[in-house]
Chains A and B, each alone.
Chain A
């Protein structure tokens, strides 16, 4: 039986090899975390010594901003083009935000402050805007910001360059001409028609003239400089030491790690592998509260159950109203976003500040909804809800809606399609019964928010037609008096509710996990991850 022993010995050797491999992994894990903490400590101290000229006051009290350090931000979307005018994904825009400045900057409270423009002015009919451009601003490549760069940026975005076919930013298609006055240091923009929201679009990134590699290596004037991008993996940026504001960013380096599924990243979060992770649902907070602070982020997302107003049975306002009454929105919010959402009554969300009409309420009354349907002669109504399957929140919403509709005897079939198909069949082709989708907006402009219900718009995918609404919408565009505009937008929202254009569901709230050693994370009523304000405590 000597042989048996030999075999066993060899088997043991191999098995111990396997164990060794596993053990290696474990040891390495411990080493790594040690190294990580070392790193941050070193850089913290290192920067304070290295750059005494950066910040005169070296703050050493805990809790106050410290200069230096590097953070890892988890983002949940693949990046598309890095060119600020070609990037379409909200996930890309919120990252490249850090490379650029606009003529104006959106503040956390929804107001606008001059940025690359020192000041701005506009004519009473909102057709002519004049910006005084700041001097002494440098692009990341070392060139000075000139008036020509501003003119080029606006013209490129508006599709006015000789080789362009359409406006890259559709809202800017109304620009008629852009001219520079070198003596006064101003740039004047003339519009084809009046647009009181125009100033909100001027958060547009200003880029250097005739630089052709924006899509691969973006260059702007922003607080961070692009260093590296690896597809599907990460995007790295470093601090811009020549930033034009009174201080540079606190952080030395920021890495955006791409993890397309927040749920799958939960293990990494539990080990503290990310410093900042936006768009988590509140139920995750319980699992992660030891390591992270949770900051509720406002979103200007309007989640609606879009009803195709041209298609039976939704062409009948009675059906739309009855369905509106049958939906328990609070229960939906509890089920889908774990209570982190605000009930909406119309097509605008609270982050739109005073434009949002907060006076609207709607009753939840399934009994009456049922009798309304019966009176109108609808029995055993069968409808289809088409949802983009890539978005878990919409799929779950549709599932809950279908369940709630059972109470009033309506059978809803949930159909998922992929995003590309949704865009072409539902959004553009308008070939659907109903759909659940969130409308988001690149600019905090009330007109872009309500554009989806303007009957002459490409984006009116629910086929809503109301001449009254259209008139108000057109009036609001040319109205420059703030109070009157607010009134017009309130009326529009009232019409949307009265006509039951669709079922307006919720303004979903999301949570950003910020590791406890970080401070200064700021949220905006727009999708941005502003790293300028973030610091180590």
Chain B
């Protein structure tokens, strides 16, 4: 019975008056946007290829041990045997950067899994039904977004101790409101379209409408959000690690490497640059892919 409670506040989007002649519209869509989107995809994949190659090398071969210390080689500048130089314990930075990759990706995927699934559930419910669920979902989301996330991370880690799972859960929760908003606005938009009304009239169940008809509409948009979320999760995790919170010491993370390097910034700048660059490459790659997806979704939107 819920479906009758929905309000049809907004006018149908298809009634919108456009100033752009159809021909021109088509031109923008196909040539320019498509070209840019494709270019962005290409750059994104090329950037992500670098960590992918490093990941494969890491699986097969590590030039040095990641933890064993060698004081005679501390602060070696980058050279042929140590590509990215060594850190304050004489450990090879290239090896360490490489072996920090799987964990970073694992955490990022975990965060987005929690954020996306919960966001999907809450966003779909509040976007489709509106009413009480929508209201309180939005208020809690607002509240979470108004608290600086770093602080939430600090509080969470201080409360539940450090650990990979703690980081995933804490940041996962902080990611829910963002996903919720994206999905909610998508559902809000499409649930006012005529085809939904028609489906309701012929008596399709709400679950079926949500899953079979509305969800596919926002799939590209969601994928773009996931790619962006992936990048942001990496940034979030490395920020926490940079503050020395979250992931345990025994695990190598780029944020922690940067924090350690900060103490020797002017003696050994290379120990800060290598992990930092890795973060940038991974994040940038995801950004470009997200942008490409977004443009496809916009294009889809217009038709």
Q: Do chains A and B touch in the complex (CB under 8 A)?
A: yes
A residues apposed to B, CB below 8 Å:
263-264, 266, 270, 283, 286-287, 331, 334-335, 389-390, 392, 395, 398-400, 402-403, 406, 413-418, 420-421
Assess whether B49 is interfacial by the CB under 8 Å rule. no
A392 to B263, Cβ gap below 8 A? yes
Q: Which of A263, A390, A406, A418 contacts B263 (CB 8 A)?
A: A263
Assess whether B57 is interfacial by the CB under 8 Å rule. no
Assess whether B205 is interfacial by the CB under 8 Å rule. no
B267 to A389, Cβ gap below 8 A? no
A416 to B249, Cβ gap below 8 A? yes
CB neighbours of B244 from chain A (8 A): 389-390, 395, 416
Q: Which of B161, B249, B266, B267 contacts A399 (CB 8 A)?
A: B249
What 1/0 flags go to B238-251 for Cβ under 8 Å of A? 00000011001110
A414 to B162, Cβ gap below 8 A? no
A335 to B71, Cβ gap below 8 A? yes
Known: A389-B245, A395-B249. 18 other contacts (CB 8 A): A263-B262, A264-B262, A286-B267, A287-B266, A287-B267, A334-B71, A335-B69, A335-B88, A335-B89, A399-B249, A400-B89, A413-B250, A415-B161, A415-B249, A416-B244, A416-B249, A418-B158, A420-B158
* A402 and B249 alpha carbons, distance in the complex (Å): 11
What 1/0 flags go to B248-275 for Cβ under 8 Å of A? 1110000000000011111100000000
Q: What residue in chain B is nearest A389 (Cβ atoms)?
A: B244
Query: At the interface, is chain B mostly helix, strand, loop or mixed?
Result: loop
Q: How large is the interface on B (under 10, 10 to 19, 20 to 34, 35 or more residues)?
A: 20 to 34
* A414 and B158 alpha carbons, distance in the complex (Å): 16
A400 touching B69 in the complex, CB below 8 Å, given contacts A287-B266, A392-B263, A415-B162: yes
B residues apposed to A, CB below 8 Å:
67-69, 71, 88-89, 157-158, 161-162, 244-245, 248-250, 262-267
Q: What residue in chain A is nearest B91 (Cβ atoms)?
A: A403
* A266 and B158 alpha carbons, distance in the complex (Å): 29
A414 to B248, Cβ gap below 8 A? yes
Q: Which of A263, A398, A413, A414 contacts B265 (CB 8 A)?
A: A263
**Chain B's nearest CB lies how many Å from the CB of A329?**
14
**Chain A's nearest CB lies how many Å from the CB of B253?**
12
B263 to A403, Cβ gap below 8 A? no
A402 to B250, Cβ gap below 8 A? yes
A266 to B248, Cβ gap below 8 A? no
CB neighbours of A398 from chain B (8 A): 249
Among all A-B residue pairs, the 9 with the closest Cβ atoms:
A414-B249, A263-B263, A389-B244, A418-B158, A403-B69, A334-B71, A413-B250, A414-B250, A416-B249
B68 to A403, Cβ gap below 8 A? yes
CB neighbours of A331 from chain B (8 A): 71
* A255 and B262 alpha carbons, distance in the complex (Å): 27
* A331 and B244 alpha carbons, distance in the complex (Å): 25
* A406 and B67 alpha carbons, distance in the complex (Å): 10
Q: Which of B67, B264, B265, B267 contacts A403 (CB 8 A)?
A: B67
CB neighbours of B161 from chain A (8 A): 415, 417, 421
A415 touching B71 in the complex, CB below 8 Å, given contacts A283-B267, A335-B89, A420-B158: no
CB neighbours of A286 from chain B (8 A): 267
* A416 and B245 alpha carbons, distance in the complex (Å): 8
19 residue pairs of the A-B complex, CB under 8 angstroms, read: A266-B265, A266-B266, A270-B266, A287-B267, A334-B71, A335-B69, A335-B88, A335-B89, A395-B244, A398-B249, A400-B69, A403-B67, A406-B67, A414-B249, A415-B249, A416-B249, A417-B161, A418-B157, A418-B245
* A263 and B265 alpha carbons, distance in the complex (Å): 8
Q: What residue in chain A is nearest B74 (Cβ atoms)?
A: A335
Q: What residue in chain A is nearest B89 (Cβ atoms)?
A: A335
CB neighbours of B158 from chain A (8 A): 418, 420-421
**Listed residue (B88, B157, B249, B265) with the most chain A CB atoms within 10 angstroms of its CB:** B249
Q: What residue in chain B is nearest A286 (Cβ atoms)?
A: B267
**Listed residue (B68, B89, B162, B263) with the most chain A CB atoms within 10 angstroms of its CB:** B263
Q: What residue in chain A is nearest B263 (Cβ atoms)?
A: A263
A416 to B248, Cβ gap below 8 A? yes
Q: What residue in chain B is nearest A420 (Cβ atoms)?
A: B158
**Listed residue (A331, A413, A416) with the most chain B CB atoms within 10 angstroms of its CB:** A416
